[in-house]
Chain A
Amino acid sequence: MSDAVVPHRLEPNAQASRSGTGWLKRALDSDIFYSFRRSRMTMVAAAVTILFFLLAIFASQLSVQNPFDPAQLQLMNSRISPLWTAEGQSPFLLGTDEQGRDVFSAILYGLRISLVVGVLGVVLAGTLGITLGLIAGYFGGTIDGLILRIADVQLTFPAILIALLVNGVAKSVFGNRLDAMSTLAVLVVAIGLSFWVQYARTVRGSVMVEKNKDYVAAAQLIGLPAPKIIFRHVLPNTMGPILVIATINLALAIITEATLSFLGAGMPDTMPSLGTLIRIGNNYLFAGEWWIVAFPGIALAGLILSINLLGDWLRDALNPKLR
């Protein structure tokens, strides 16, 4: 983190271009990029992850129909097997389900929902956990004990159980008929509340180390307010492990969302995520229509596997002790 000191009175343009190229050069020269290039598996995993994100972003451009629009579905097209099988029909690359919905398009839209819930869930869990961890580590004392106790208790319960409970409670508060967008919000909250503990504990640990260093004492000495010291000066020094946790948590959050949807406690059939698609497809497995469940399943497994591989690599790359 040896930041080149940028002089204060530079032209805004010059400053931007300078820090821009400097940033790129530093990134390409860094140890992390070197270890990235050394690991072929990681490069493949990164490419697959980026591909999945692009597929999700451009879902509406890449799909042959909008699978959520009943007007675009035709029952004539129902239960077509994938293109390369004997009964395959273009343009339905991966076949269709019982409502004539193109499986490939449904996967693209489902991927979008899975990723949105996963990313927002991780952001919420991270914000909550980092804030609580910073507070606990910086101030210590009673508030530290309280946060730590709550974290301890929550850590004994698996995330999926907490997420199911939050979901159940939300259903009982708002009634059983939640619309799709509110369900999505409930899922994000459920995931956020189940995964904050790890961030809080990690951040607390690093803050306890950081706060005894000279730069914090110096900041306190010149009279900076505590929030400014915490967020501007201590937080950036705890970011390494947080990045690793966030990556691995993204995979866990996507699994959790898919599991909840599979159990029927997540996204509804009208706005399916990958988990919902697998639940729907599972009903047709015995009829021999394997493609309705197989392709969403492969997409989900591929996504999680590549994110996990990235997370594993990041953990090793950021932690030289493990090498």
Chain B
Amino acid sequence: MLAFTLRRAIQAIGVMIAVGVIAFSMFRFAGDPVNQIVSLDTPAAEREAVRKSLGLDDPVPVQFARYFGNAVQFKFGVSYQFRQPVSNLLMERMPATLELAACATVLAMVFGILMGVYSALRRDTILTKFFQAVSLIGISLPTFLIGILLIYLFSVTLGWLPSFGRGDVVRIGWWTTGLLTLSGLKALIMPSITLGLFQMTLIMRLVRAEMLEVLRTDYIRFARARGLTTRAIHFGHALKNTLVPVITVAGLQFGSVIAFAIITETVFQWPGMGLLFVQAVQNVDIPIMAAYLLMVSLIFVTINLVVDILYTIVDPRLRSTISRPA
């Protein structure tokens, strides 16, 4: 168990170093950073001094080690567009993205599980057909189109909900939250639906498939034979056993929710990390691109690691196969 955890942790660190190499090499593609700093008529000697002070004369491995060392301490350099430290920009924007992603995930879980259970238990009703149509649309409609559609319906036509921004936010320490004000909550509704719809369809399909499988097993048949109520069988036994894979998938998907937030944030001009990243890509602002890549990778790798380890704790069957290397 310990060996497995260690091996996975070393693998995760390896991935992070690989991502660090990619992030670092983006700087090297982008031309001479000295030109970004000095003006056109700066004499050569002064340029040389700037180059020295930035350590650009050092061998590439030394520069990489320095970049990675700084990144570990959360120093990502200064943004070309904003002339501010990238870490400040990211910290300022992170609460918005995390709040949005969390809301979308909760929404997707609640409705995905409800719809999945219903369509597994009542297989041929009209509502089930409707849910399946919704799930096909959720997979086929690009995220940004759903966002535009919602804006047109609820902002332009009906005027119920704001079409952009976060509304009023409350500051708690360094964290800003929109969950405590009415305008903040109203602003959260449409972006969360847009972001969560794809996950919802995924969870619904998964719950449905798992439920159908579990309902065919012997222990369910036995529970029926014991004369348990249908409700106890469906929710006490069947649903409980489908939830493990559902929670795993939802956990693993949290990373891609954050990545997909790029699109949702652009549609709704939501002031999060994703919007920052898109603007950075458009303006070739390498420090922000590199820092975002590192941050998102860190979140991804951490989630994967935690899920893998939790899995072996929760499911002893996996442990025995892992501890005996094939």
Interface residues of A (CB under 8 A from B): 153, 156-158, 160-161, 164-165, 167-169, 171-173, 176, 251, 255, 258-259, 262-265, 278, 282, 285-286, 288, 290, 293, 297, 300-301, 304-305, 308-309
Contacts and interface: CB of A to CB of B under 8 A. Distances in A.
Nearest to A281: B148
B77 to A, nearest CB: 15
B293 A165 contact: yes
A156 B301 contact: yes
Nearest to A156: B300
B152 A251 contact: no
A282 B148 contact: yes
Contacts, number: 102
B144 A278 contact: yes
Contacts of A301: 140-142, 145
A158 B278 contact: no
B263 interface: yes
Chain B residues touching A, majority SS: helix
A225 to B, nearest CB: 31
Residue of B140, B143, B266 contacting most chain A CB atoms (<10 Å): B140
A290 B153 CA distance: 11
A259 B137 CA distance: 16
A262 B266 CA distance: 9
Interface string B130-169: 0000001101111111001101100010000001000000
A158 B260 contact: yes
Residue of A158, A167, A293 contacting most chain B CB atoms (<10 Å): A158
Contact of B259 (A153, A157, A308, A309): A157
B128 interface: no
A144 B284 CA distance: 36
5 contacts: A172-B26, A172-B31, A176-B283, A263-B278, A278-B144
A288 B140 CA distance: 26
A278 B145 contact: yes
Interface of B: 15, 18, 22, 26, 29-31, 136-137, 139-145, 148-149, 151-152, 156, 163, 255-256, 259-260, 262-263, 266, 277-278, 280-284, 286, 289, 293, 296-297, 300-301, 304
Contacts of B148: 278, 282, 285, 293, 297
Contacts of A278: 144-145, 148
A265 B281 contact: yes
A168 B289 CA distance: 8
Given A173-B30, A286-B163, 12 more contacts: A158-B256, A160-B263, A164-B277, A168-B26, A168-B280, A171-B281, A172-B26, A258-B142, A265-B282, A282-B148, A301-B145, A305-B137
A285 B268 CA distance: 13
Contacts of B281: 164, 167-168, 171, 263, 265
A271 B236 CA distance: 57
A156 B142 CA distance: 21
A308 B140 contact: yes
Contact of A263 (B31, B141, B266, B293): B266
A174 B263 CA distance: 25
A203 B263 CA distance: 32
Contact of B260 (A156, A160, A169, A308): A160
Chain A residues touching B, majority SS: helix
Contacts of A309: 136
Residue of A160, A164, A265, A304 contacting most chain B CB atoms (<10 Å): A164
Contacts of B144: 258-259, 262, 278
Contacts of A173: 29-30
Contact of B263 (A176, A263, A293): A263
A263 B262 contact: yes
A168 B152 contact: no
Given A165-B289, A168-B281, A290-B152, A158 B259 contact: yes
A319 to B, nearest CB: 15
A156 B19 CA distance: 12
Contacts of B137: 305
Contacts of B152: 285, 290
B278 A300 contact: no
Nearest to B279: A264
B284 A153 contact: no
A167 B281 CA distance: 8
The 8 closest A-B pairs by CB, nearest first: A305-B140, A168-B281, A172-B30, A158-B256, A158-B259, A161-B259, A173-B29, A262-B144
B260 A285 contact: no
A171 B136 contact: no
Contact of A161 (B31, B262, B284): B262
Given A165-B289, A300-B142, A265 B284 contact: no
